Amino acid sequence: MPRHVKVAAAQLGPNNEGTPREEIVERMLALLEHAIRDGIELIAYPEMALTTYFPKRVRPDFDQFFETEVPPKALEPLLRRAAQARVALHVGFCEKAQGRYFNTALLTDRDGRLCGTFRKIHLPGTKAPDGFAQVYEPYYFAHGDTGYRVFDAAGARVGIAICQDRRYPESYRCLALQGAEIILIGYNTPISALALDLNELCLRSGAYANLCFVVGVAKAGVEDGVELIGGSCIIDPLGQVLARAATTGDELVQARVDLDQMRPVRKRWNFLGRRQPQHYGLVQQPVTEKETNR
């Protein structure tokens, strides 16, 4: 029996500081209603969907951006409507748990059941300005402790990574080895030279090297004076872009993905089955270029 899933990247425009969460969720609901009309079965929202991207500078008053409940209370209307319409849902938010701070994403299935959460593993930037860093996530967040996880949702095996994780081939490979068919990646990325090109390069290469679908979903536009790239897109197992955002505002990017498409390409290329892990020991060696403590 054919296995098709209609997926959407729900790109968000800027969330400027001071915008109430309720107002942001109303915009998210508008995108969800659009998705429902179009028959979407799995919708993904960006990293830190409920707040501004505050790690663009160092500041002490960051507790206001974190949620202490999972799922966050602010998301109740969105989660309820998604469950009513039988749409699986992914959304990123900032989580405070037992005194620790994480950059987190959750996934629910079409019946509203919480499949689980993933906490961002790779943190960009430094704890203090060093002349190079654009962002300061290590000042705010602990490295994620969930490990890479794959969930059953919308009739597919769905993996999650967040933003900087997309730049590490290990992220895609760890998820693919657990059977991921679709990988969802939310991000907030300040603009810089080649930023859009490098973003798509990471997503496309991850899809091809692991022969799976990848959905990249951005928060975009000029947010509190800092321009964030858009470029939300849906990519097939051969690294081809099926759909791409045309704006840097609220936009639904969608595609009907054929999960059976992976069978012939995985049989032909068999990147996972032809691995030679006995030669990969260096990958597991301790880090030699230590992360700066600045």
The rounded distance, in Å, linking the Cα atoms of 105 and 205 is 22
Distance, in Å, from the CA atom of 209 to the CA atom of 170, rounded to the nearest integer, reads 11
* Mean pLDDT over each residue of the chain, to the nearest integer: 96
Out of 67, 115, 137, 163, pick the active-site residue: 163
Q: Does pLDDT of 236 surpass 90?
A: yes
How far is residue 170's CA from residue 25's CA, in Å, rounded to a whole number?
33
Average pLDDT for residues 80-98, to the nearest whole number? Answer: 98
Is the predicted pLDDT of residue 2 greater than 90, yes or no?
A: no
pLDDT of amino acid 290: 72
Go through 104-141 and write b for each residue having 16 or more CB atoms within 10 A of its CB, e for each that does not: bbbbbbbebeebbbbbbbbbbbbbeeeeebebbbbbbb
Q: With beta carbons less than 8 A apart as the criterion, state whether 175 and 151 touch.
A: no
How much of the chain, in percent, has pLDDT values that exceed 90? 93
Per the residue annotation, which of 41, 95, 115, 120 is the catalytic one?
Answer: 120
The dihedral of CA 130, 135, 139, 144: what is its sign?
negative
pLDDT (tens digit, 9 = 90+) per residue, 108-153? 999 999 999 999 999 999 999 888 889 999 999 999 999 999 999 9
- What is the homologous superfamily of the domain 4-284 according to CATH? Carbon-nitrogen hydrolase (3.60.110.10)
Report phi then psi at 192, rounded to 5: -160, 175
Structural Rg of the chain based on CA atoms: 18
Q: What is the pLDDT of residues 170-202, one digit of tens each?
A: 999 999 999 999 999 999 999 999 999 999 999
The structure tokens listed for 193 are 């030279």
Asked about 6 being catalytic, the answer comes back as no
In this predicted structure, the answer to whether residue 31 has a pLDDT above a threshold of 60 is yes
22 is known as an active-site residue: no
Residue 143: the pLDDT is: 97
Query: Does residue 246 have a pLDDT over 80?
Result: yes
Task: Quickly tell me which residue has 């429902």 as its tokens.
Answer: 36
User: Which amino acid appears at position 277 of this protein?
Assistant: P
pLDDT band at residue 293 using 50, 70 and 90 as cut-offs: low
CA 154/CA 90 separation, integer angstroms = 11
Q: Looking at this protein, which amino acid is placed at residue 194?
A: L
Antiparallel, parallel or unpaired: β 213-219 and 42-44 = unpaired
- With a pLDDT cut of 70, the percent of the chain lying above it is 98
- Residue 294 pLDDT level (bands cut at 50, 70, 90): low
**CB 107 within 8 Å of CB 89:** yes
Residue 292 has pLDDT above 80, yes or no: no
Res. 10: pLDDT tops 60: yes
> Are 27 and 250 a contacting pair, CB within 8 Å?
yes
Q: Tell me if residue 233 is catalytic.
A: no
Find the catalytic residue in 47, 95, 137, 181: 47
Phi and psi at residue 28, to the nearest 5°: -65, -40
Contact 150, 181 (CB under 8 A): no
Domain boundaries, the chain: 4-284
| DSSP state for residue 136 in the 8-state scheme | B
User: Looking at residue 133, what is its pLDDT?
Assistant: 86
